[in-house]
Structure 1
Amino acid sequence: SLDGSKWNPNWFGCATCTTPPVNGAESAAYAPSQISESGGSLHLKAEQKPATVNGKNYAYTSGLVNTNGKAQFTYGAFEARIYLPASGSQVANWPAFWTDGQNWPADGELDVMEGLSGQACYHFHSPSGGPGGCAPGNYSGWHTFGADWQPGSVTYYYDGVKVGQITSGITSAPMYLILNNAVYASGPTVTPADMQVDYVRVWQH
């Protein structure tokens, strides 16, 4: 099962609560019931399961885990091996592996990988903007996504190959890790969709 000493099972709520999504563009609430472990992998499952949170209705329910309050890092390398749900040859929904600071956007947001319009993309958000890009190719299924965060730069690696580097607006505040299988109304939506995580690794500089 999920290691509660390292991970929280939703987005800023009690350990058993269904919580609102991270972003207003998302169509799924987050619930601990959508998180499981089997076959050596973490499963974050998006389903067409309606939920009402704080008086707002969501058509889908999905899974999110984060290390807020349990582990955060300034600089270092982050890597995860992830299975991304597919829509044909594209990445389905809005799955993501990212880090965030306590005070967004001042502290920064490092998107190691997020599925946007079927592609695997990377960004760094701060008060200076949100530069980034998308890697060519089909990244549905199993792939490894990594980022090396150093003072003034973040270099992104997909399957061990450098796909981009950002050198503007890089912040230095501590960040915590997040993995989520978001549903995005404007992208290719597939449910049920199982985002799987084989491992997450962090190396400190």
Structure 2
Amino acid sequence: MPVGIGGTWHQVFGDEFNGTGLDTSKWNANWFGCPTCVTKPPNSAEASAYSPSQVTVGDGSLHLNLIEKPTTVDGKTYPYVSGIVTSNKKAQFTYGAFEARIYTPSSGSQMANWPSFWADGQNWPTDGELDVLEGLGGSACYHFHSTAGGPGGCASGNYSGGWHTFGAEWKQGSVTYFYDGKQVGQITSGITSAPMYLILNNAINPSHSGTNVAPADMKVDYVRVWQH
């Protein structure tokens, strides 16, 4: 069951990453584009392109590896290349509990780079964007973006270094966020109801990141989604 989120649930999606390769029935290993292509990032301010070569599965975890390697996509050169997975066109959900157990890159007691676990609709921002975790300025933060704005906050405490669970309960009119089973925030404005797909990425963004570290491996032990 979801860590710290009460209620009666049944699991509707999950990946334990116990194999030797990415399950492509559930995930795409880049942003929108052909399955084997290097693609530009979701956010134009990011400093890394995304390549399937930076996505691996082993030792019971998904690995999203960021390295310093100038990479040109659509005429723009990014100083880094990294890993991303999305469930776009393969799995999407309206409402439920979303959770991942993640080991984020770190620098001292802060998160490094811009590691993220989030969900997005097909028509941004109208359909909404649910940010379960994004490392902003070294902190673990959460937001919900829509046409009404992007309210959110950052959790107190140290969520870098070691494994942590990051979860959110999305229901009509609210999203409640749970880190390591503890409620860290709730958003009740601008909550949408369109289906969203899942995204995990090891991003780097000079204006959002904490300390920039490369190479850096973002590890994911599991991703699970439950509904009532």
Does 2:220 align with 1:197?
Answer: yes
Q: Name the structure 1 match of 2:160.
A: 140
CA distance, structure 2, for counterparts of residue 27 and residue 63 of structure 1 = 13
Could you say what the CA RMSD is over the residues aligned between the two structures, in angstroms? Answer: 0.6
For 1:98 and 1:68, the matched residues in 2 are separated by: 12
> How far off is 1:103 after superposition?
0.1
Match of 2:144 among 118, 124, 140: 124
Shift in Å at residue 50 of structure 1?
A: 1.1
Counterpart in 2 of 1:11? 31
**CA offset at residue 136 of structure 1?**
1.0
* CA deviation after TM superposition for structure 1 residue 38, in Å: 1.0
Q: Deviations over 1:117-140 (max 9, x none)?
A: 000000000000000000011111
| Structure 2 residue matching 1:59: 3-state secondary structure | strand
**What is the SS of the residue equivalent to 2:68?**
coil
> SS of 1:102's equivalent?
coil
Give the alignment partner of residue 41 of structure 1, picking from 61, 64, 84. 61
TM-score by length of 1: 0.99
Work out the percentage of aligned pairs sharing the same amino acid: 73
1:60 and 1:204 map into 2 onto residues whose CA distance is 37
* 1:82 equivalent in alignment to 2:105: no
Q: Name the residue aligned to 2:125.
A: 105
Q: Supply the distance in 2 between the matched residues of 1:28 and 1:88 (Cα, whole angstroms).
A: 23
Match of 1:155 in 2: 176
Q: Secondary structure at the match of 2:29?
A: coil
Partner of 1:65: 85
Amino acid at match of 1:203: W
Number of aligned residues = 205
1:195 maps to a residue whose letter is M
Q: Which runs of 5+ in 1 are unaligned?
A: none
Query: Of the candidates 164, 176, 200, which is equivalent to residue 197 of structure 2?
Result: 176
TM-score, reference length from structure 2: 0.89
Instruction: Report how far residue 70 of structure 1 moved.
Output: 0.2
Task: Provide the secondary structure at the position in 1 that maps to 2:36.
Answer: coil
Secondary structure of the 2:53 match is: helix
CA distance in 2 between counterparts of 1:203 and 1:61 reads: 32
Cα displacement (A) at 1:106: 0.1
Q: Distance in 1 between matches of 2:117 and 2:39?
A: 19
Structure 2 Cα separation of the partners of residues 190 and 82 of structure 1: 17
Aligned equivalent of 1:167, options 170, 175, 188: 188
Query: What SS does structure 2 have at the residue aligned with 1:49?
Result: strand
Matched residue SS, 1:50: strand
1:45 Cα shift? 0.4
Structure 1 runs of 4+ aligned residues shifted over 6 Å read none
Q: Distance in 2 between matches of 1:92 and 1:53?
A: 25
Displacement after TM superposition at 1:24 (Å): 1.3
Residue ranges of structure 2 left out of the alignment (5+ in a row): 1-20
